[in-house]
């Protein structure tokens, strides 16, 4: 064991000195008397290394959550078992040139893959450094350390692992090796990691499908919008910089078109004296019906149906926040000013395929990026953050169907339902089709009640959760307890809003 340990540790410290520093280890601390320091290894009660039937090749057993002993590798021939596993991974993912191992037992599968496919990229994930060093004490890892492209994600967060996988070729391209026996010592970590990877994979699939479906439309819209953009549009970065003092430290209210917005609309005008109002395109009609011209209207969807939400409307005191690929008539919307952010369309990919000019892409990216989670409400939240909001209130962000309602009364969706209704096809039937046409599931609202939602809205909720985690000092509140519960967002009622905000418009008017 001492010879294997010395060989592995020497290779590890020479190849990954930064990782050793991150883990706070060195040759002096890891090695005692020529062998591994027990302080850095799993105890015998956590992992028992036993001889296999194949001569001097050890295998191991560990206890699962029920206290039962489970073999991590074959008791007969762990090397052959690992070789078969490596072949299986490659057979399942023949086009993949990268593989991620979620833990590894003593390391047999990782070593076997490194021997068979040395030119691939390898990512080794293990949250417990002791498990890693225990494996280095058991078998020869030199084929892994000698690989050209190998990364060890030891004691890192799930977000770091996801980032590594994305850089290794994309989540849809990287092969994953996960053995339940190997991951049971940190099952909660690997479960959370797998969930995050699957969410991001869903996002990549959606993005790829969206590009195939809409790239021609994006090209057409950009071409038609070019002259207007150059003539009368401000960039987001310039606009925010110019108004930084006005926006910074003020509360923002993002108005979405969920059913719970009906609770807020009668009070929205007074709320607008205490906060900047950011309305998504779907909620503009409802705001105007209550005599409220939002400070900002966000419309960043290139499709005609998105433009239809503002078609025929005007809001002379509002600023329209949009992007280059928006449906062209949207840029004729009657408003105070048009501000353009960098496009959420994959312009770099379009430039690679010759659909847009490279210079246009460079100029577009200078306008200022608003990250999007696939919904206009996510872009509106991001705009409020970039503008300098002290706190953000979400009105009508239900991400579900409270009491089986789909949209706020008076929205474009509701108006369309009535316009196409007939005696044999009433508006209720139209709404039911929207409600039950998706892959519905039950979730929980802020009051602990059940609420219908779907995978798409759950993905939006995850986006908000991740952004709230990234910006913990920026508090985000839901203004309805009937909305889908999102970790990181708490409820603050209308009454609490008025208690915690002041009328800053009166000061500016005086």
Give the list of residues 6+ apart from residue 55 with CB closer than 8 angstroms, or none. Answer: none
Mean pLDDT by 10 residues, the chain (510 residues): 89 93 88 88 92 87 78 94 95 93 96 96 96 96 95 91 86 93 92 90 82 88 87 89 94 96 96 98 95 98 92 97 95 96 85 82 90 91 97 96 72 52 54 57 94 88 89 96 96 97 76
- Order across the sheet with 296-298: list the strands: 234-235, 334-340, 314-322, 296-298, 276-280, 251-255, 391-395, 475-478, 490-491
What pLDDT sits at residue 418? 44
Query: Would you report the helix, strand and coil content of the chain in percent, each value rounded to 5?
Result: 50, 20, 35
Contact 328, 221 (CB under 8 A): yes
Residue ranges per domain, the chain?
2-178, 215-400+460-505
d(CA 68, CA 106): 19
Geometric angle at alpha carbon 230, from 226 and 231, rounded to 5°: 115
d(CA 160, CA 151): 12
What pLDDT sits at residue 438? 55
What pLDDT sits at residue 114? 97
What pLDDT sits at residue 430? 45
What pLDDT sits at residue 40? 93
pTM, to two decimals: 0.70
Cα torsion for 72, 75, 77, 78, to the nearest 10°?
10
Cα torsion for 373, 378, 379, 385, to the nearest 10°?
-120
Contact 232, 319 (CB under 8 A): no
What pLDDT sits at residue 199? 85
Strand positions, DSSP E, 348-415? 391-395
- The owner of tokens 């709404």 is 431
């Amino acid at each position: 064991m001492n010879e294997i340990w010395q060989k592995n540790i020497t290779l590890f410290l020479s190849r990954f000195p930064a990782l050793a520093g991150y883990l706070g280890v060195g040759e002096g601390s890891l090695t005692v008397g020529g062998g591994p320091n027990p302080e850095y290894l799993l105890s015998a009660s956590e992992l028992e290394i036993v001889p296999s039937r194949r001569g001097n090749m050890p295998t191991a057993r560990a206890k699962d959550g029920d206290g039962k002993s489970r073999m991590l590798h074959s008791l007969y021939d762990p090397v052959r078992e690992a070789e078969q596993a490596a072949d299986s991974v490659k057979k399942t993912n023949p086009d993949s040139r990268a593989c991620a191992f979620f833990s590894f037992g003593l390391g047999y599968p990782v070593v076997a893959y490194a021997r068979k496919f040395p030119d691939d990229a390898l990512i080794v994930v293990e949250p417990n450094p002791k498990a890693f060093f225990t494996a280095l004490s058991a078998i020869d890892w030199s084929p892994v350390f000698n690989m050209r492209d190998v990364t060890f994600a030891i004691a890192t967060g799930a977000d770091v692992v996801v980032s590594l996988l994305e850089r290794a070729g994309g989540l849809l391209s990287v092969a994953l090796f996960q053995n339940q026996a190997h991951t049971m010592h940190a099952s909660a970590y690997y479960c959370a990691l797998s969930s995050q990877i699957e969410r991001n994979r869903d996002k990549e699939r959606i993005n790829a499908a969206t590009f195939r479906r809409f790239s021609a439309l994006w090209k057409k819209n950009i071409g038609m919008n070019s002259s207007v953009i150059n003539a009368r549009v401000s960039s987001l970065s310039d606009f925010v910089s110019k108004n930084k003092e006005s926006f910074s430290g003020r509360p923002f209210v993002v108005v979405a078109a969920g059913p719970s917005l009906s609770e807020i609309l009668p009070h929205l005008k007074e709320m607008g004296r205490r906060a900047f109002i950011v309305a998504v395109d779907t909620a503009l009609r409802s705001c105007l019906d209550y005599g409220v011209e939002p400070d900002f209207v966000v419309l960043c969807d290139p499709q005609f149906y998105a433009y239809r939400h503002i078609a025929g409307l005007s809001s002379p005191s509002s600023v329209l926040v949009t992007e280059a690929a928006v449906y062209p008539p949207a840029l004729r919307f009657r408003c105070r000013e048009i501000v353009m952010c960098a496009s959420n369309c994959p312009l770099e990919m379009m430039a690679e395929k010759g659909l847009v000019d490279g210079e246009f892409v460079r100029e577009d990216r200078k306008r200022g990026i608003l990250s999007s989670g696939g919904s206009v409400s996510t872009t509106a939240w991001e705009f409020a953050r970039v503008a300098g909001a002290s706190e953000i209130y979400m009105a009508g962000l239900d991400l579900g169907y409270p009491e089986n309602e789909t949209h706020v009364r008076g929205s474009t969706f509701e108006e369309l339902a009535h316009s196409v209704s007939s005696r044999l096809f009433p508006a209720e039937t139209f709404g039911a089709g929207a409600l039950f046409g998706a892959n519905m599931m039950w979730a929980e609202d802020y009051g602990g009640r059940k609420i219908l939602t779907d995978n798409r809205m759950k993905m939006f909720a995850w986006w908000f959760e991740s952004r709230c985690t990234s910006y913990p000092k920026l508090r985000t509140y839901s203004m309805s307890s009937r909305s889908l519960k999102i970790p990181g967002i708490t409820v603050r009622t209308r009454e609490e809003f008025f208690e915690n905000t002041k009328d800053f418009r009166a000061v500016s008017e005086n």
